[in-house]
Amino acid sequence: MAYQAIYRKWRPTTFEDVVGQSHITETLKTEIKTSRLAHAYLFCGTRGTGKTTTAKILSRAVNCENPMPDGNPCNECPSCKGILSNTIMDVVEIDAASNNGVDNIRELRDEISYTPANVKYKIYIIDEVHMLSAGAFNALLKTLEEPPAHAIFILATTEAHKIPATIQSRCQRFDFRRISAKNIAGRIGEITRKDNINIAQDAIRLVAQLGDGSMRDALSILDLCSGIEGEITLKDIENVTGAVSRASLIDLSVSLINGDISKSISLIDKMLESGRETGTLLDELIMCFREILICKIMDNPSDVVDKSDEDIEVYKNIAKSVSNEVLLHIIKVLSETAGLCKTSTNPRVMLEASAVKICDPSADPSSDAFAARLAKIESMISTGSIPVAKPEPIIVPAVTEKVRVATEEAFDTPPFDIGEPEVIAEKETEEIPVEPPIAEDDDEEYVCESEDYSDEDIPPFDIPDFGVVPPMEQPMIEETLPIVEEEVTNTETISDSIQSADIASLTDTMMLKNPALGSILKQATLKIKDGVYFVVFQEEIFKNTINDNKDFVTGIKNALNCEHLKIVTEKELAGQSESKDPLDDIISMADSVDQISIF
């Protein structure tokens, strides 16, 4: 006998053999036992969940000559054996993908009127029924609504949303669920024992996980690896299927979470060089981070995550060190990359670029990346693990003996050996006579009456120009400057901490009254001298804007609870305002010497 694939050899023959669909098989057995059969059934579900298998078991059960008390077929009578061997023509299996036209449905409608030749019911199993054209569905509609009493339709599809509502309303619909990895592993263990296939338990778990809810896919993988000599190990399954090892996947996930770009790129290179496909690696990474997220947000993740207890414990430990925002950002980036890789000519570059985005969220301008960065900062603040940059060590060059001796001699020299600094004689400046100013209308030549000098004694060098300042103004400036310097110095009489606190609270208060002027007030500093509050701006335009609004100035006084308030610039506070009238300077100097001369 020719070799049969494992999934065909071990196709279920009773309702109990159908794994993970008890909610459907129990209902069908009850209908069979009570003879309350529907004229049309619609089986929906993903691939490899048992839709066609259940349809074939149902076709034998309703035509069995010696049905079992629980509703199962006996599989021993001529009818059951004929259906199993496909020799009874009254059970018709149609592939709608290749027979999807109106003519095919017209032929079916013409044949259905004939009674079955060998069995009780004529069964029509239409697989992938969603592939029928709109005209074919319309042609099937009337026959499906009122078929002959000897006909039963069983429609199977993986895309129920493509079935017209008029068809669905005329059928009993059953939705097949994805089979859990635990149930698939149990079925594989049973088959390997009966077929004498030597396989490790961890390899069985990996085959069940790679099946992704499909029993047929898992059995096909087992069939692929069954030719390996000796015991089938986990490494064998990974090499044959191109799957990424669990340890490598967890290492890559942790390095992405920790932001280790170098290690992440190295692990990706190692996996791809070992023959792994980029799409497969991305899909498994997405599922890995999905399971970490589920383990973080759920108290009992085993209800949702179809993994072993050891894997769930590992995912829980990883989830403790990462926030939900970071996990969501990683899943989104990987999902977008998986879509781009399908159309990209170089998917590896897309994968490595996504790793850089994940490790360095600042390279990603999206809002999810920004939320991930904020969450990371909040976590670092809450745990007190903010990294502090260490200062670079100061490298002191080695001191030679010659430099050391020279340094010691320099420090041993007493200060008085340096020599006295040159003293500028001030007497010569005092001996220069100060003469009264000469009137503008006085043309009389000024003659020096000093006996110590004559015209012949004038040396042959130019006398420096001392400017046009009248001689009488020189002593006045010398007496006034110290007063101005003392005034500027005395204005800085308040500590920085009080200034900062006062201006911050004042700004917050005034922002509520006038946001526009309050934002200008942020540019100012607050100083106090002798009970007078000074709001000091760097730019004069800010000062004028505040001064023009009297109500706002009054509000500042009320907020500070003061009587005297001045809005000034820094130059005005220092006595160097450019807007100040020059005549005020002359008057202030004249007050100090009790005289004024205006020419």
Give the model confidence (pLDDT) of 116-159 as tens digits.
888 999 999 999 999 999 999 998 988 888 889 999 999 999 99
| Beta-sheet pairing, 172-175 with 565-569 | unpaired
Distance CA 401, CA 407 (A): 10
Looking at the 3D structure of the chain, how many domains does it have?
A: 4
> Phi/psi class of residue 346: alpha, beta or left (left: φ > 0; alpha: ψ in -120 to 50)?
beta
Shared-domain flag, residues 75 and 139: yes
Domain that holds residue 495: 488-583
- If we measure between CA atoms, which residue out of 545, 499, 560, 543 comes closest to residue 525? 499
CATH at 567: 3.30.300
Residue where a domain terminates, one of 240, 266, 291? 240
Q: What is the DSSP letter of 41?
A: E
Q: Is 533 within a domain?
A: yes
Shared-domain flag, residues 13 and 157: yes
Distance CA 460, CA 457 (A): 9
Shared-domain flag, residues 58 and 137: yes
Shared-domain flag, residues 95 and 130: yes
Strand partners, 155: 42, 126
The pLDDT value given to residue 531? 72
The pLDDT value given to residue 263? 92
The pLDDT value given to residue 474? 42
Shared-domain flag, residues 262 and 350: yes
Q: Which whole-number Å values give the CA distances from 228 to 7, 151, 197, 221, in the listed order?
A: 18, 47, 10, 12
| Residues of the chain under the 50 pLDDT cut | 396, 399, 403, 411, 413, 415-419, 421, 423-430, 439-455, 458, 461, 463-464, 466-501, 576-583, 585-587, 589-599
Shared-domain flag, residues 253 and 375: yes
Residue 3 tokens read as 């070799």
Q: Is 276 within a domain?
A: yes
Q: Is 417 within a domain?
A: no
Q: Is 372 within a domain?
A: yes
CATH at 318: 1.20.272.10
Residue where a domain terminates, one of 240, 266, 284? 240
The pLDDT value given to residue 273? 86
**Order of strands across the sheet that contains 91-95:** 91-95, 122-127, 151-157, 40-44, 172-175
Amino acid at position 437, single letter: P
Q: Is 568 within a domain?
A: yes
Distance CA 262, CA 150 (A): 69
| Beta-sheet pairing, 532-537 with 151-157 | unpaired
The pLDDT value given to residue 239? 85
Contact 81, 75 (CB under 8 A): yes
CATH at 35: 3.40.50.300
The pLDDT value given to residue 437? 52
- Residue range 402-439, pLDDT digits in tens: 545 555 555 454 544 444 545 444 444 445 555 555 54
The pLDDT value given to residue 275? 79
- If we measure between CA atoms, which residue out of 72, 81, 68, 139 comes closest to residue 105? 139
Distance CA 54, CA 45 (A): 12
CATH at 192: 1.10.8.60
Distance CA 509, CA 435 (A): 61
> Phi/psi class of residue 53: alpha, beta or left (left: φ > 0; alpha: ψ in -120 to 50)?
alpha
Q: What is the DSSP letter of 110?
A: H
CA angle at 99 for the pair 94 and 105, rounded to the nearest 5°: 85
The pLDDT value given to residue 565? 81
Q: What is the DSSP letter of 232?
A: B
The pLDDT value given to residue 382? 67
Shared-domain flag, residues 326 and 190: no
- If we measure between CA atoms, which residue out of 257, 245, 388 comes closest to residue 323? 257
Q: Is 426 within a domain?
A: no
Q: Which whole-number Å values give the CA distances from 95 to 128, 130, 216, 312, 566, in the listed order?
A: 7, 11, 18, 42, 93
Residue where a domain terminates, one of 124, 155, 175? 175
Shared-domain flag, residues 10 and 39: yes
pTM above threshold 0.85: no
Distance CA 526, CA 559 (A): 13
The pLDDT value given to residue 227? 83
Shared-domain flag, residues 162 and 224: no
Distance CA 405, CA 48 (A): 91
Shared-domain flag, residues 192 and 129: no
Shared-domain flag, residues 223 and 295: no
Backbone angles phi, psi at 16, to 5 degrees: -70, -25
Q: Is 44 within a domain?
A: yes
Shared-domain flag, residues 155 and 187: no
Q: Is 210 within a domain?
A: yes
Contact 351, 268 (CB under 8 A): yes
